[in-house]
Amino acid sequence: MVRIVRVGLLMCLVACSGKGEPEESGERIRLWHTFNPTETRQLNRTVLARSTTRVESTLLPFGRAQTILVQALANKTDCPDLVRIDATWLAQLAGMDALQPPPAKVTNALGWLPEARALASIAGSQLALPQAIDGLALIHRATTVRNAGLDWPPATVESLLADARRMSQGGNYGLAVRRDGYWFLAFLRAWGGDVVDPKTGELHIDSPVATRALERFAQLFGPKGVAPSPSRVEREAADHARGFRSNTIKVVLDGPWAVSGLGNGSVEGLTVTPFPQGPTGGAAPRGGQLLVVPRCSKKPAQAWQLALALVAPSLQADWARRYGLVPTTAKALEGAGPFAKQFYEALKRGRPLPQHPVSAELFDDLNPAIAAVIAGDATAAEALAGVRRAWTRLLKRHGVAVRTPETP
């Protein structure tokens, strides 16, 4: 969907007259983004509704956004000026030399949180402005674990599942988990496994630890498990939100993007607990959203000014208090409210995916394999053997030779 609006950013984005007022211009800034519906409405009502600069705001479907963007930047046609991307896309775009590094005055304008700056940097060079930190954590009501008599936070994933079992009574489910590789990764790491090391080419996905982890992950779902049976992918988030609001789902493993639905538009009464760590440290994946300016942008200076408006501390703090967004600057975090601060502390205990182009593509093959095991259409060993073959081709395409990890 494309919407051209007359916008008023927090600073002058076009040539200004001597009186400091923006001059009319027929030119426009092209913004491509993947904000969720709630964030998009706020984007249009606040940042894009307060200026005289024209912005062509295009919402990309998240599942296809990376492909659309890569094709546009490779062809250098139909080029946007500013793009909101998932942090896992940065390595590929940097490898294409498709991005303009932000000017020093832009990167130094705000005090970035260390986790945010790391997501936006490659080999120590910052290539983007971090717009949000995200990842997986346990979201619940403060009264839920207290009423269940639980001693939280759970120290291990085994403790978490035992607690979820206690809460899965009378038609209720103690934990909601999505049928998705991103969610499986949290459990896999907590049980001592991992997916791939692109630097060494080591594939861990079909190891005995990973096979057993997928078997156990599949057992979480359904009447005999602690999580509701998966619905269709496009309905899963809404079904979890509905079950959580009706209190038939007690705890949801999800990210800040889900908070608005879980809280029915508010963070009031919600609490965040870190997902348990594994034997090698952080288990839950941590990521984020970044703002980048392509080299083919025709208006890079204005694009960076728009990016600064989208990460303004006052705006980030407001979205944090309203919708649970986790800010990327220390100043924004100060005014973010207790819920967003809890989420930030929970995400600090997680671990990002490897900063490599393959990371953004891993789940294309892993997700259907997980779905097949949960549905009973394949064993974990069969499904993960197929993932290994697919990932071997993926790594080869990116110039990485696969090798089998040494057995201790």
CB neighbour class for 376 (10 Å; exposed up to 12, middle 13-18, buried from 19): exposed
pLDDT tens-place values along the chain, 408 residues long: 333 333 333 333 333 333 333 334 457 899 999 988 888 888 888 777 776 678 899 999 988 999 999 999 998 888 999 999 999 999 999 999 999 999 999 998 899 999 999 999 999 999 999 999 999 999 999 899 888 888 899 999 999 999 999 999 889 999 999 999 999 999 999 999 999 999 999 999 999 999 999 999 999 998 899 999 999 988 999 999 999 999 999 999 999 999 999 999 899 999 999 999 999 999 999 999 999 999 999 999 999 999 999 999 999 999 999 999 999 999 999 999 999 999 999 999 999 999 999 999 999 999 999 999 999 999 999 999 999 999 999 999 999 999 876 644
Note if the bond before 153 is cis, omega within 30 degrees.
yes
User: Which residue in this structure is represented by tokens 């590094």?
Assistant: 101
Q: Are strands 129-135 and 125-126 parallel, antiparallel or unpaired?
A: unpaired
pLDDT, position 218: 97
Number of domains comprising the chain: 2
Q: What is the pLDDT of residue 6?
A: 30
Q: Are residues 273 and 305 in the same domain?
A: no
Same domain? 276 vs 330: no
**Chosen domain end from 352, 383, 402:** 352
Q: What is the token pair recorded at 119?
A: 């997501």
Residues 131 and 141 in one domain: no
pLDDT score, position 342: 97
Element (H, E) at 7: strand 2-8
What's 106-148 look like in SS3?
HHCCCCECHHHHHHCEECCEECCEEEEEEECEEEEEHHHHHHC
Number of H-type helices and E-type strands within the chain: 17, 14
Rounded CA separation 199/403 (Å): 11
pLDDT at residue 12 in the model: 32
336: containing domain: 2-135+286-352
Do 68 and 181 fall within a single domain?
no
Could you tell me the sign of the dihedral formed by the alpha carbons of 371, 377, 380, 383, in that order? negative
In this structure, the answer to whether residues 255 and 131 fall within a common structural domain is no
Query: Do strands 82-86 and 125-126 pair parallel, antiparallel, or not at all (unpaired)?
Result: unpaired
Look at residues 285, 310, 325 and tell me which one is the last residue of a structural domain. 285
* Residue after which a domain boundary falls, among 247, 263, 285: 285
Same domain membership, residue 214 and residue 103:
no
